[in-house]
Amino acid sequence: MHAFLRTTLLSAAVLGTGAAPLLAQAVTKTYQAPADTVFLQPSAHPGFAKTAVCAACHSAEYIVYQPPTAARPYWEAMVKRMKNVFNAPIQESDIPDIVDYLVKTYGNERPR
């Protein structure tokens, strides 16, 4: 047996038996997130109801504090990023409505 392999196997065996007592002492910790204090602006716009999936991963605070000058391409990129990079449960067909709601409520197309 090669010296490297023998050393690796020996190290794994020592670490494995040494870790057993530590694993037995492992404690499950729970975390209670603070209550939300920021909520999305209610709207009859179909995109409002579809933004409910956003709350599965982050609070409304993340959306509300985006730049108020953000244009439609910004919001579209953000929603697609959430879907494609972070695996948000967003239906492809819902993206236009969500983007429309966000840009008209929080972006540069909102009423002034």
Taking 70 as the threshold, does the pLDDT of residue 77 lie above it?
Answer: yes
Which CATH code of 3.20.19.10, 3.40.1390.10, 1.10.1370.30, 1.10.760.10 fits the domain covering 46-105? 1.10.760.10
pLDDT of residue 29: 85
Q: pTM for this one?
A: 0.69
Annotated domain spans of the chain: 46-105
Cα gap 41→16, rounded to integer Å: 53
CA-nearest of 92, 67, 68, 69 to 82 is 92
User: How far apart are the C-alpha atoms of 97 and 31, rounded to whole Å?
Assistant: 34
Confidence (pLDDT) at 3: 59
Please tell me the predicted confidence (pLDDT) of residue 104: 97
> pLDDT band at 36, cuts 50/70/90?
confident
Q: Is pLDDT at 88 greater than 90 in this prediction? A: yes
- pLDDT tens-digit readout, 19-35: 666 666 778 888 787 77
pLDDT the model gives residue 105 = 96
Rounded to 10°, the helix 72-84/95-105 angle is: 130
Render pLDDT for 40-76 as a digit per residue (tens, 0 to 9).
999 999 999 999 999 888 999 999 999 999 999 999 9
